[in-house]
Amino acid sequence: MATRSCEGNITAFRFLVRHLNEANRVAEGDADAVISQYKKFLEEVVPKHKSQLLDSSNRVDQLYHGLLAGSEDYGQLWSVVKMLLILSHGQATVERGFSVNREVDNDNLHADTFCCRRLICDTVDYYMVAYMP
């Protein structure tokens, strides 16, 4: 039987699947199957592996791969989980920009020189990423 927090998880997962569907990442017809697989996962797998799921020393990707990958019962759910695991979870690019700004600011540059140096750094970063093999 689903607990109150389990119902909250299901509601949040429905919201997530709806957004993935709107972004054309999950087909309309697959959305219900993914949600059903998630409910089944919560009811059958989570209670059996609760200690593993609560152990913060486990890597999330390895944990879910072990629980979902290769299972016919959770194939569509595993596809969604893989998408979620590869989402960017940080603001590293933004933080690097702050770091560059701080370095430039430390040089006590004038405002127009500051803007030009920032533009050059951003341009170099863009072309390094865009044209790297």
Quick: pLDDT tens for 57-86.
888 888 899 999 888 899 999 999 998 888
Question: In whole angstroms, what is the distance from residue 90 CA to residue 87 CA?
Answer: 9
Name the residue with higher pLDDT: 102 or 84. 84
Which residue matches tokens 């697959």?
A: 30
pLDDT tens digits, one per residue of 4-18? 577 888 899 999 999
* Of 8, 11, 29, 17, nearest in space to 77 by CA: 17
- Could you tell me the two tokens for 115? 């803007």
CA–CA distance, 44 with 64 (Å, rounded to integer): 14
Q: Measure CA 79 to chain center.
A: 13
Q: What is the pLDDT of residue 71?
A: 87
